[in-house]
Structure 1
């Protein structure tokens, strides 16, 4: 062991202390360098993280704006779709209404056709009936004109009661004192084909009864014969 009185001891101690001090300084410098590097790296990390966060925020804002735009676009599309559905519903209602109107028109046309057919059948029936009446008139004309001096005239009656073509049956050889004195009955045919007595000259009180019988029997010769009898009864009391 060196002696404390060794003159080199102090130098060696100082050298050892300086060496230790240098080591400490070097270690401290290493620590400072490491700390500085770590601090720099931390700052760079924070800067990078901040930039990433800012970029993320901007991206999120853009994404949010895009989402909001999509939402607005979706709302507009929903509104347009609803309007389209409403319009389509109105159009369908109009189509259904027109279909109903079409069916109603078709039904009315069918009813008109049926009415027209019935009217034609009625007219044909009336024509046949009028032909029968015309034959009866012809027969009555021959019988009364040839044997009883009956004259048949066609006249136009414009009275308010009856309008149209009428027939006048002029009887003669009724009055014994005046064989040429005319006794007249005027009649026509209604729309339903029945006979209608318009007037008689002179007036016969029983004429409504005779007309009623004519409507029931449709026998014109018998009616004219009864009218002649009534004229004779009135002219020859």
Structure 2
């Protein structure tokens, strides 16, 4: 089945919400081999990488994205794994989008874990089971600007949030950890403020990218393949591992 745009999406935004902004083929978070498989199976003009796996199975490799672009596929990234890979591959033609991408682009030692969240299995919708550190930090800074909390508490909560493993990072676990060091009206104000005022920059960036693709759909015809891709033994081994080695031997599309 062909599709002009393929989107790898999971915990950042539900597919139902995403379809309100862009009609596309939505696939679960990308892991190793998935982008190459999407190129082979669907021959898209563009791929949007938003979410990807990273712990339970191998993450999507840079070489795989370069291979897709060498086949003339425009590859965009935002929000989560997409923002990380776009920042790393911007010099080779991957198009990054959104604030999180820009942050990774200018922060040489940006931590990949800042966007990590635990998620349900793909068959259950890949929805988020926790909070991304970057969203917590930006929400806390918004609370400080709104004078809900002061700088001291904001910094303390940021340190505590970073100390919590991503698989257990929620606002509930953060407040529980904070109770050992903080008590009083300031923390209570934050708890009351949070339900209606919390923001997810990951979600905002994802929606913004989908809208961008929707508005520029007529300009998403396949591009001339980049020259940055070089076939290596390691990449050939990866493709063989994912039963995709035939892709190295065929023209466009397979």
Same fold (TM over 0.5): no
TM category, shorter = under 0.3
TM (normalized to structure 1)?
0.23
Q: Give the structure with the higher percent helix.
A: 1
- When Rg is computed on C-alpha atoms for both structures, the one with the higher figure is 1
Select the structure that is richer in strand: 1
Q: Which has the higher contact order (CA 8 A, sep 6+)?
A: 2
Tell me the TM-score normalized by structure 2. 0.22
